[in-house]
Structure 1
């Protein structure tokens, strides 16, 4: 069971999703420290979803269309805001050499909000964690907490690697104005597409 859980978790975490894209973008724009803050924020953003899954609240989210739509549209609007802030160079991802100003706390909070405003995560973790809790487990609740802790640790470690890699190539990329322009367009378009994909999601 543990081997299957670790392999599956690694595949899920490594797959480029919203959190990965955000962490890479911050690493390219602001460097190592900011990318670590982004990784921490994104990781913390999955805590409420895991708690909801363990407590059974994810099932309520799945059955309540109003609650699901409220979270979904809040997430969509936030992704659209991120796309616009990249174009305007006014947000946590600013592709300019002097963009080191601004608190890392804001970078972490943005990562937190990106994940917490995605209602599909709660439903995902409810289905995901239950697969690895045997029916004869003496304490299924404790087992789910352990699995959640391992998943979060893997998430943080993988995101740190993504951010560190992006930070390493940052100086090379930002020496070329045309590359910066393409990065801005690319990341802005990516967040727009993520918002559109979330808009198409249903319970």
Structure 2
């Protein structure tokens, strides 16, 4: 077994890091709300497609942070605000789309390839337009990095990859729980009522994101 100094990260920080990111991911936020809404209305497969998009979006921010690209957000607050409001507007657009009935889960098969691809891209876009993800990596990862182990890049990639695994696991549990509840909801709500539920939920998620990323 190699000495601890040969590990890319300090083994002593792994458990505290996993606990910290698990608690962060379990804190209600825009991702959790959106994934629950998708899974509630469209089912488990659609929810997992959305999780895949969210995870790839998080991975993009993690790589950007690891290579120092997200420092631009801290140096240029206007860019942070631009991305932030673009994300809020994107969620409001999804709410309007749900209200109009585009992709109404009661109107067709939520498992077709176009729906799955669309939900993946929406999850990806929603996270790329969430600057809080970048700030998360910039603020959290350095506190668990140690100078007597791997290079800063190796440590950032290792810890960031571990965060992605924890986030994906938490999001998968949200999908499973919401999809199970969705069967009951879909039997009681159809057409305009279901569209109103989705649209109202997405507006709430947009407002939630605007508040959570305010600065």
TMscore range, shorter length: 0.7 to 0.9
Q: Is the 8 A contact 1:37 1:104 kept in 2?
A: yes
Contiguous gaps of at least 5 residues in structure 1:
none
CA–CA distance in 2 between the matches of 1:185 and 1:81?
A: 10
Q: TM-score under structure 2 normalisation?
A: 0.83
Map of 1:190-201 to 2, 5 A cutoff?
A: 190-197=204-211, 201=214
Report whether the alignment pairs 1:184 with 2:194: no
Unaligned residue ranges in structure 2 (runs of 5+): 1-12
Q: Aligned pairs, how many? A: 199
Contact 1:18/1:114 (<8 A) preserved? no
Partners of 2:153 and 2:206 lie apart in 1 by 38
Contact 1:50 1:122 in 2 (8 A): yes
Q: Is the 8 A contact 2:34 2:202 kept in 1?
A: no
TM-score normalised by length of structure 1: 0.88
Give the 5 Å matches for 1:48-87.
Answer: 48-87=60-99
Partner of 1:19: 31
Contact 1:76–1:195 (8 Å) recurs in 2: yes
| Whole-Å separation in 1 of the counterparts to 2:203 and 2:34 | 13
Detail structure 1 runs of 4+ shifted over 6 Å in the superposition: none
Match of 2:108 among 95, 98, 103: 98
Query: Which has the higher mean CA deviation after the structures are superposed, 25-34 or 11-20?
Result: 11-20
Alignment of 1:124-163 (within 5 A): 124-163=136-175
- 8 Å CA contact 1:29–1:99 kept in 2: the answer is no
